[in-house]
Amino acid sequence: MLRLATVDLKRDAVKTLFVPVCEDKAIHSDPVVCGLVEKAMTIEAFRGKKDQELVLHNLSDPPIENAIFRGLGKAGQVSADSLRQASGRAAKRCIKMGVPRLWSAVPEAGALGIDPAVLLAALMEGILLGNHIFDRYKKEKENKPLARADFMVPADGARRFAALPPRIEAACRGAILAREWVNTPSNEKTPEAFAREVAAAAKKSGLTARVMVEAELRRRNFGALLAVSAGSRHRPALVVLEHKPRRGKETVVLVGKGVTFDSGGINIKTGPSIADMKSDMAGAAAVAAVLLSAAALKLDRRIVGVIPLVENMVSGDATRPGDIVTSFSGKTVEIGNTDAEGRLILADALAWALKTYAPQVAIDVATLTGACVVALGEEIAGLFTADEALKEEILAASARTHERCWPLPLPEDYKELLKSSFADINNMPSAREGGAISAALFLSEFTAGTRWAHIDIAGPAYHKKESAICGPGGTGFGVRLLLDWLLHISPRFG
């Protein structure tokens, strides 16, 4: 899909061209592109201001059918993310126009003060992510995505940046897969069905995949996970994916919350947003997709993905508020609220994974709390870790990918909120305030002794409205973030 191309606009047939433009500076070196920008600027409505768009049709010199100009604003303020968004919008314009192939004029990195590889990667990501259409459930497929995107670089650039297209394609394919899984309705992704689908995809990619079904989970005493699943007629599952390169002895464990539908259980959710709770497995989707992409990229580190899958439903078999269960770790948990189910399945999955693999580091991703959305809004995930170095690594990956995270604390004294009169711990905190923190503290009780981070993605995992690089629904948040983190901690990077 992505190609680096050396193009002579005077000679080569380019039907549709995307040209990013700044309002205060010429940012292209190709004289033909500069000429096109000059022409665009003669049109009064287009000044190259941020988010402005102009499409010129049927140009004769050079002969171009569609030239899409997108404003970036002032050159000094252009970031990798504004380029990502501009190219995402350009891809969306192409879809609307029904064109199958787009050439992009790549700006001079020096003119924008951005590293050339970062600039090119951002443009590529925008095109791939903006090009995703989820129309599986529409009879009339109105739109077709781009089939090919060429990026104009000088001859030496094609060699210099040859590693970029496959890397960006693997990461974006992962993000798109995660989106598709999140957008799939809950009736078509019951825990066992989703487990089978993930395991099949994983095996195709060369990962090892194992699915534990209910009998095994029972035998192994996953008491907290089973309590969440009890009310559903669909049986739970736990998927374990493993990427095992020959080199790389250290192990990373990734755990993703996989509630295929969260009705709240007996503490049933009210209000219209309950329909969005098909997205409560976005952490699971992200972890599965990261493993598939890690295999495609042949990362030289052992990575284990642990994906607990349950449906949180209401029935005569459902767990009652006030029930006490014994978790995998041996700790007893009073289930003060059946809607705080994510921490229950994660407690068991984390405890099992740490015991089984003794990893050097573990990260969980979960649509865990509404409180985190209240605290940080829809665009930013909450990052919890007691490990300063791990925090810095994740924040660096967050800055590079623009999958934004913000650190929140794990104060020891707030553990008071999780005290139970009858069991070792209560899944329902005694105060509403600080809900994202008390949820993270609950998880911390099951990860002692391991470098561990928790990322609460309840806000950024699912957006009702489309954006420059995404359609409505699942965003694939976490996939590019975790892959970038893995790439940068991999031994090859030192």
Confirm or reject binding of residue 371 to ligand BES (CB under 6 A). yes
Contact of 241 with 291, CB cutoff 8 Å: yes
Peptide linkage before 185 cis (omega within 30 of 0):
no
Rounded Cα gap, residues 272 and 279, in angstroms: 14
Q: Out of Zn ion, ligand BES, none, which partner does residue 369 contact, by CB within 5 to 8 A per kind?
A: ligand BES
Q: Which of 94, 240, 362, 458 binds ligand BES (CB under 6 A)?
A: 458
Residue 258 CA: distances (Å) to CA of 38, 118, 233, 293, 317: 52, 33, 16, 19, 20
Contact of 364 with 254, CB cutoff 8 Å: yes
CB-nearer residue toward Zn ion: 78 or 345 = 345
Confirm or reject binding of residue 262 to ligand BES (CB under 6 A). yes
Q: Which of 126, 174, 342, 434 binds Zn ion (CB under 5 A)?
A: 342
Count residues contacting ligand BES (CB under 6 A)?
Answer: 16
Residue 175 sits at the vertex; the CA angle it makes with 172 and 181, to the nearest 5 degrees, is 140
- DSSP per-residue string spanning 117-165: HHHHHHHHHHHHHHT----TT-SS------SEEEEE--HHHHHHTTTHH
Q: Which of 265, 435, 460, 476 binds ligand BES (CB under 6 A)?
A: 435
Given the residues 269, 391, 415, 451, select the one marked as catalytic.
269
CB-nearer residue toward Zn ion: 311 or 341 = 341
Q: Hey, how many other C-beta atoms are within 10 angstroms of the C-beta on 117?
A: 13
Q: Which of 231, 258, 305, 342 binds ligand BES (CB under 6 A)?
A: 342
Q: Which of 367, 398, 447, 475 binds ligand BES (CB under 6 A)?
A: 367
Strand partners for 230? none
Question: Is 189 marked active-site?
Answer: no
CB of 225 to ligand BES, least distance (A): 14
CB-nearer residue toward ligand BES: 308 or 359 = 308
CB of 345 to Zn ion, least distance (A): 9
Tokens of 456: 């609460």
CA neighbor of 226 nearest in space, from 212, 210, 206: 212
Residues 6+ apart with CB under 8 A from 225: 217, 236, 238, 308, 310, 328, 344, 345, 348, 349
Q: Which of 280, 403, 445, 484 binds Zn ion (CB under 5 A)?
A: 280
Q: What is the x/- site pattern for ligand BES, positions 276-315, by CB under 6 A? A: ----x-----------------------------------
CB of 212 to ligand BES, least distance (A): 22
CB of 408 to ligand BES, least distance (A): 14
Binders of Zn ion in range 315-334 (CB under 5 A): none
Confirm or reject binding of residue 321 to ligand BES (CB under 6 A). no
Question: Is 233 marked active-site?
Answer: no
Residues 6+ apart with CB under 8 A from 68: 16, 17, 18, 19, 53, 54, 55, 90, 93, 94
CB-nearer residue toward Zn ion: 171 or 282 = 282
CB of 456 to ligand BES, least distance (A): 9
CB-nearer residue toward Zn ion: 36 or 457 = 457
Q: Out of Zn ion, ligand BES, none, which partner does residue 289 contact, by CB within 5 to 8 A per kind?
A: none
Q: What is the x/- site pattern for ligand BES, positions 402-431, by CB under 6 A? A: --------------------------x---
CB of 133 to ligand BES, least distance (A): 24
Rounded Cα gap, residues 365 and 351, in angstroms: 15
Which DSSP symbol is given to 114? -
Residues 6+ apart with CB under 8 A from 249: 302
**Residue 53: half-sphere exposure toward Cβ, Cα within 13 Å:** 16
CB of 305 to ligand BES, least distance (A): 20
Q: Out of ligand BES, Zn ion, none, which partner does residue 370 contact, by CB within 5 to 8 A per kind?
A: ligand BES
At position 356, the amino acid (one-letter code) is T
Confirm or reject binding of residue 262 to Zn ion (CB under 5 A). yes
CA neighbor of 486 nearest in space, from 202, 249, 242, 290: 290
Q: Among the candidate windows 104-112, 200-208, 340-348, 470-478, which touches ligand BES by CB under 6 A?
A: 340-348
CA neighbor of 361 nearest in space, from 302, 316, 315: 302
Q: Out of Zn ion, ligand BES, none, which partner does residue 458 contact, by CB within 5 to 8 A per kind?
A: ligand BES
C-alpha gyration radius of the chain? 24
CB-nearer residue toward Zn ion: 264 or 305 = 264
CB-nearer residue toward Zn ion: 280 or 445 = 280
Given the residues 343, 400, 404, 480, select the one marked as catalytic.
343
Confirm or reject binding of residue 447 to ligand BES (CB under 6 A). no
Rounded Cα gap, residues 347 and 470, in angstroms: 32
Residues that bind ligand BES (CB under 6 A): 262, 280, 337, 339-342, 367-371, 373, 428, 435, 458
Q: Which residues are catalytic?
A: 269, 343
Residues that bind Zn ion (CB under 5 A): 259, 262, 280, 339, 341-342
